[in-house]
């Protein structure tokens, strides 16, 4: 055709549905209309310049709402969208020096900083999905190209972002103020405004609110209530379940969840959903899932299990059971077996009394086999450090030891530093044991040396020393 077809979509048509974790084991489809997405993009264009959006790294799956910013906001300004499977691929991207804005979670940018993977072309960093520490903000501003670090907050039910703060190196840790066309309230349990400095539930209203939950009218009515502070009869209020308080300067301080919903690596997880699936396993009597803070500052899911007296529990089989019913990011990284769950005086599970997971190797199907070669020893040391374990066996599966995709990228970056070879994510997922990866690394180094001139081979002699001794 000589001209573009005129769109038949209206402002109240459905634009997309994003599924988020549900407390009863049933995911919730958040239905966002075109008008909400357009309002969000309109706000973003008032904040981010054409130069900011010249090259936006799009590393978030379209199953998650950070991708709405990464895809549509730069295109609305005529910018470039630079695709990547995940943010930690940035150092290897051919177009890495064209990236001007990174939109990701704090844990991912922390790893990029560790490996020196943020190009000097990056001038703006948007961080959301997890608490943003002042220390991380300071580290980012120490990079030569960084001009702006933004702390953004928002549930999927309010079109990606609801509040926005331009963080300064020594400023307070806040999530800022509401974006345009959004109203923020901090309310007590009687839906009355909490005084400045007093914690309350963070509630949202405005053009960004979702239509509701797809095919869940009762849940929609429960979470999206009439807005008692608006003169418009159709105005609604979304109760986030998050705790916050207003500071004297009008900014918001985020204080965590009212319930047991958590965010890990940017993914929102209802702990009750994981517990619900665990309870479906035939060997399970009781279970509790918590998010524990590690010494590295990262959080991981830990499941505490009480099995039936007549049942034997195989952890490898349990992981496979969970993977069939839950996305990978909701499968606990560690499992702790208990005779009984600790209880408070009123009979509730005492989560504070749950013991920390042991750093010893989990009880897996395969017996422990020690590394045999220098390459395997280096890999075992990397795995142990990344996984927080005392040891990792030659034939242990990385994911059965509690690994996940973000930890894989950390391992790959350390392998790159140790061996000067580039392992792909695909190779790691296909060969997730130390023995298999060591063989792959050695083969790559041998091929590389054979293709070099004598002079180049001498220069890489350091790597050659890491080649394995002959295998028995």
pLDDT of residue 23: 57
The percentage of residues in the chain with a pLDDT greater than 90, rounded to a whole number, is 49
For residue 104, pLDDT over 50 is answered with yes
Q: Decide: 127 and 152 in contact? Cβ < 8 Å.
A: yes
User: What are the residues facing 284 on neighbouring strands?
Assistant: 307
Please say whether the beta carbons of 20 and 269 come within 8 A.
no
Tokens 């038949």 found at: 8
Are the CB atoms for 127 and 153 separated by under 8 Å? Answer: no
Task: Please give the model's pTM, rounded to 2 decimal places.
Answer: 0.67
Element (H, E) at 457: helix 454-459
Structural domains for the chain: 14-256 (3.40.50.12780), 261-353 (3.30.300.30), 374-464 (1.10.1200.10)
- Cα(444)–Cα(314) distance, rounded to whole angstroms? 36
What's the confidence (pLDDT) of residue 101? 98
Task: Name the pLDDT band for 151 (thresholds 50, 70, 90).
Answer: very high
**pLDDT value of position 465:** 53
Contact 443, 465 (CB under 8 A): no
Nearest residue to 160 via CA among 262, 48, 65, 33: 65
**What pLDDT does 182 receive?**
97
125 - beta bridge partners?
102, 149
> How many other C-beta atoms lie within 10 A of the C-beta of residue 201?
18
Q: Residue 35: pLDDT band by 50, 70, 90 thresholds?
A: very high
Predicted local distance difference test score (pLDDT) of residue 457 = 64
CB burial class (10 A; 0-12, 13-18, 19+) of residue 91? middle
Say yes or no to pLDDT of 391 above 70. yes
CA angle centred on 334, ends 331 and 338, rounded to 5°? 115
**CA distances, 116 to each of 25, 109, 111, 390 (Å):** 40, 10, 9, 27
pLDDT over 90 at 404, yes or no: no
Average the pLDDT over each of 95-99, 178-182, 460-464 and give the range with the smallest value. 460-464
pLDDT value at 228 more than 90: yes
In whole numbers, what is the pLDDT of the chain averaged over residues?
A: 88
DSSP string, 340-396: S--B-TTSSB-GGGSPPPPSSPP--SSPP----SHHHHHHHHHHHHHHT-S---TT-
Model confidence band, residue 463 (pLDDT cutoffs 50, 70, 90): low
Q: Pairing mode, if any, of strands 261-264 and 267-270?
A: antiparallel
Q: Distance between the two ends of the chain, CA-based, in angstroms?
A: 68
Candidates 84, 76, 65, 275; CA nearest to 155 is: 65
Give CA 257 to chain center in angstroms.
Answer: 16
The answer on pLDDT for 25 being more than 70 is no
User: Which residue did the predictor score with more confidence, 39 or 367?
Assistant: 39
CB hemisphere CA count around 369 (13 angstroms): 12
Rounded to whole angstroms, how far apart are CA atoms 423 and 307?
A: 39
């Amino acid at each position: 055709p000589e001209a573009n077809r005129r769109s038949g979509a209206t402002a109240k048509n459905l634009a997309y549905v994003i599924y988020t974790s549900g407390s009863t084991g049933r995911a919730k489809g958040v239905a966002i209309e075109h008008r909400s997405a357009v309002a969000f993009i309109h706000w973003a264009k008032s904040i981010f310049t054409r130069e900011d959006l010249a090259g936006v790294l799009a590393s978030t799956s379209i199953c998650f709402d950070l991708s709405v910013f990464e895809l549509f906001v730069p295109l609305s300004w005529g910018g470039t969208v630079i695709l990547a499977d995940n943010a930690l691929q940035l150092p290897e991207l051919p177009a890495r020096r064209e990236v001007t804005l990174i939109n990701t979670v704090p844990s991912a940018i922390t790893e990029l900083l560790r490996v020196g993977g943020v190009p000097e072309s990056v001038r703006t960093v948007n961080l959301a999905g997890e608490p943003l520490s002042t220390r991380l903000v300071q580290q980012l501003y120490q990079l030569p190209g960084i001009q702006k670090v933004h702390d953004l907050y928002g549930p999927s039910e309010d079109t990606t972002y609801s509040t926005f703060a331009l963080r300064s190196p020594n400023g307070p840790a806040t999530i800022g103020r509401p974006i345009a066309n959004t109203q923020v309230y901090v309310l007590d349990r009687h839906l009355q405004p909490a005084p400045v400095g007093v914690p309350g539930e963070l509630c949202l209203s405005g053009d960004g609110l979702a239509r509701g939950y797809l095919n869940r009218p009762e849940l929609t009515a429960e979470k999206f209530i009439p807005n008692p502070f608006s003169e418009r009869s159709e105005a609604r209020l979304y109760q986030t379940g998050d705790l916050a308080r207003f500071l004297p300067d009008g900014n918001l301080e985020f204080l965590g969840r009212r319930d047991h919903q958590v965010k890990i690596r940017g993914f929102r997880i209802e702990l009750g959903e994981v517990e619900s699936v665990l309870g479906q396993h035939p060997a399970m009597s009781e279970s509790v899932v918590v998010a524990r803070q590690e010494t590295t500052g990262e959080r991981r899911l830990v499941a505490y299990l009480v099995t039936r007296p007549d049942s034997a529990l195989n952890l490898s089989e349990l992981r496979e059971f969970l993977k069939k019913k839950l996305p990978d990011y909701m499968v606990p990284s560690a499992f702790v077996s208990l005779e009984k769950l600790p209880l408070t005086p009123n009979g509730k599970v005492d989560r504070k009394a749950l013991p920390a997971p042991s750093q010893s190797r989990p009880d897996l199907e395969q017996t422990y086999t020690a590394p045999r070669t220098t390459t395997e020893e280096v890999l075992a040391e990397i795995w142990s450090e990344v996984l927080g374990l005392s040891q990792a066996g030659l034939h242990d599966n990385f994911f059965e030891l509690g690994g996940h995709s973000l930890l894989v990228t950390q391992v790959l970056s350390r392998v790159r530093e140790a061996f000067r070879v580039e392992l792909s994510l695909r190779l790691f997922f296909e060969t997730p044991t130390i023995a298999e990866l060591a063989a792959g690394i050695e083969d790559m180094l041998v091929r590389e040396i054979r293709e070099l001139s004598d002079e180049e081979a001498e220069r890489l002699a350091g790597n050659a020393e890491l080649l394995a001794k002959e295998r028995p």
